[in-house]
Amino acid sequence: MHAHVLTAQFRPEMAPEAQQLFRTSVAPAIHQLPGSKGLLYLADPTTSTVHVITLWDSEADMLAAERSGYLAQQFARMQAFVARPPTFASYPTVSLQM
């Protein structure tokens, strides 16, 4: 499994509207992509910073989603809400037994 992490800071006055758009439009679109295993939306209300972690069956699925341009289209819809350009990172995941 692989994870893709987007970190962004929303304009504080726009954070609730951005979260609603993400919940109603962007997240469902991500769930429809081949290999998508889920996502986490982590928001810090004091800084309006969000971390969106998408999980993928494989690195190939994650890269295919990125190359398709579909994710970029979805995140472009969020541009009006962002205070500065987002950062991106990708990681292989490690399964730990606890």
Instruction: Compute the distance between CA of residue 93 and CA of residue 55 in angstroms, rounded to an integer.
Output: 9
User: Which uninterrupted H or E stretch holds 17?
Assistant: helix 15-21
Instruction: Compute the distance between CA of residue 37 and CA of residue 30 in angstroms, rounded to an integer.
Output: 9
Tell me, yes or no, whether 12 lies in a domain.
Answer: yes
Instruction: Compute the distance between CA of residue 38 and CA of residue 57 in angstroms, rounded to an integer.
Output: 10
Tell me, yes or no, whether 95 lies in a domain.
Answer: no
| Structural domain boundaries enclosing 37 | 2-88
pLDDT of residue 50: 92
pLDDT of residue 40: 93
Task: Please compute, for residue 11, the number of CA atoms within 13 A of its CA located in the half-sphere on the CB side.
Answer: 9
Tell me, yes or no, whether 94 lies in a domain.
Answer: no
Residue-level length of the chain: 98
pLDDT of residue 98: 65
pLDDT of residue 52: 92
pLDDT of residue 55: 93
Domain CATH number, residue 60: 3.30.70.100
Q: Say how many domains are in the chain.
A: 1
Tell me, yes or no, whether 16 lies in a domain.
Answer: yes
Q: Decide: 39 and 76 in contact? Cβ < 8 Å.
A: no
Q: Which two tokens stand for residue 94?
A: 């490690």
Tell me, yes or no, whether 97 lies in a domain.
Answer: no
Q: pLDDT tens, position by position, for the chain (98 residues)?
A: 899 999 999 999 988 898 898 899 889 989 999 999 999 999 998 998 999 999 999 999 999 988 888 777 877 788 888 888 888 888 888 776 66
Tell me, yes or no, whether 48 lies in a domain.
Answer: yes
